[in-house]
Structure 1
């Protein structure tokens, strides 16, 4: 088994854990505050990770450059706004459906990867990704009668558009992060990914602090008061991001993000056991289609 596969599965699990914690925090902190804790409480861990690789394992620092700075800023800003869209989505639909809407990202990441990086996909991989997206479409209209009209209405709804927009911006951030990490041309992929993560999360923290100070200083106070639960979001987020960054340095973005759809399995478990939300048969069927898409992608 190639190394990027278990790394991606672990990152997907941690991402789901982070999202579940953010859903819990959203009622207390609001969309912006619940989004900020991912970065604000995560960047010290990212810096510590880099130092452990450097001092503990002897990995040397890669040389930073302007191309890295450009892609890191693009990816960092895109991830901030994608996270805010996703957190807002949790207030509109249940946890499982809210997450599922954003899972159109692999197709969008494939398009962005093709346009921006010139990456190629096999016909088998394209077919597997389409199967996964059909699963997402089934989940989106699981609570209404099955028809073409209802499908278009479900996909054109405000909730669906926010979810698809979230997936699109996450796709842009993923491609930008891969570009940033590869532009370092460092000693090894692990150190490149770690330095990218540390730089991006530090920038995101500074950007959102300025934004929150400008918009509403009380949000900063609430974030500090909720440090116990918020720090868990930051820890899960930064460790998961370390996995994503490493996997996307080892493999094309579209493949990593498509395998990352296994997060939906963890999402449905969290929705049922943690939030006690009802899951329909069509939602389960859509989830199974997504898993089939993942397996098809791997075998392709």
Structure 2
């Protein structure tokens, strides 16, 4: 039987697909703009679209303009700032260790989100859901690692950078969900979109001020490349809109675990578009991801 609560599943899958597209666009802009310039695009050019989304939502739902409780702002700042910090730590980890090993560390985010969600928000997860998260996370780690790459786990600094980055990404998800559920008296769509607007506003201000102080030439370059930046910003805001809709309906750990299907999408692109064959190890990882995600949805 259909329920609104189950919409978190298509919302998450839509967000994961949009994120794959956004990442591809940002990747192309990293060369001319640098890592932080390309990162700011998702905030700076995504913010106007979030405002447009919010206007459409208010008209469609007939909701009043929300007036959040004081608890909204600490949760929002936690989500917005942790996402920026997590991105910086991820970039540092990738400089110190191979990309695939760093990805393996980062994908522990789902498990850490489950822990933080229980501690800070009281999000309840059944034993079967915890098992599903563990299985899917193991699948991603197996898929991400390459022969000879496991030795990266012996180096303490990149290990800590990767794990702490995953932890701050997890805290970001918890912060955004915490902000959304403090907003009462309106639909979950309005609460999610309202949080998105202020989240992107905070992130835009923080990174833009940073670039003005440290690399003003990057901001000039960003506006000089406004056409591709505009599309990347739209895809970023579109992906975030659906992440937040999913956060409004279920525990952040459920969302971040189902989001591991992004790995399947990436493998599909590599296999069918780039004609890259799948190894037995990658197939095993994919099978574990599918089992974990299927169990998560079923229980």
State the TM-score, normalized to the length of structure 1: 0.88
Post-superposition offset of 1:222: 1.5
Q: Does residue 204 of structure 1 match 2:174?
A: no
State the match for 1:232 in structure 2.
231
State the match for 1:218 in structure 2.
217
Post-superposition offset of 1:236: 1.0
User: How far apart in 2 are the matches of 1:168 and 1:271?
Assistant: 28
Q: Does residue 26 of structure 1 match 2:30?
A: yes
User: How far apart in 1 are the matches of 2:185 and 2:193?
Assistant: 11
Q: Is the alpha carbon distance of 1:200 and 1:274 closer, same or farther for their aligned partners in structure 2, counting shifts above 3 Å?
A: farther
**SS of match in other structure, 1:64:** coil
Q: Is the alpha carbon distance of 1:56 and 1:118 closer, same or farther for their aligned partners in structure 2, counting shifts above 3 Å?
A: closer
User: How far apart in 2 are the matches of 1:271 and 1:169?
Assistant: 29
CA contact (8 A) 1:102 1:164 kept: yes
User: How far apart in 2 are the matches of 1:274 and 1:186?
Assistant: 47
Q: Is the alpha carbon distance of 1:82 and 1:276 closer, same or farther for their aligned partners in structure 2, counting shifts above 3 Å?
A: farther
State the match for 1:155 in structure 2.
153
Post-superposition offset of 1:137: 2.6
Post-superposition offset of 1:122: 1.0
State the match for 2:262 in structure 1.
263
Gaps of 5+ in 2: none
User: How far apart in 2 are the matches of 1:50 and 1:261?
Assistant: 28
State the TM-score, normalized to the length of structure 2: 0.89
Post-superposition offset of 1:61: 1.6
State the match for 1:129 in structure 2.
133
Post-superposition offset of 1:274: 6.6
Gaps of 5+ in 1: 145-149
Pairing of 1:1-300 with structure 2 (within 5 A): 2-86=6-90, 93=98, 99-144=103-148, 151=150, 153-157=151-155, 161-271=160-270, 280-300=279-299
> Structure 1, residues 169-216: CA drift from partner, whole Å, max 9, x if none?
111000000110111113110000000000110111111111110111
User: How far apart in 2 are the matches of 1:274 and 1:90?
Assistant: 25
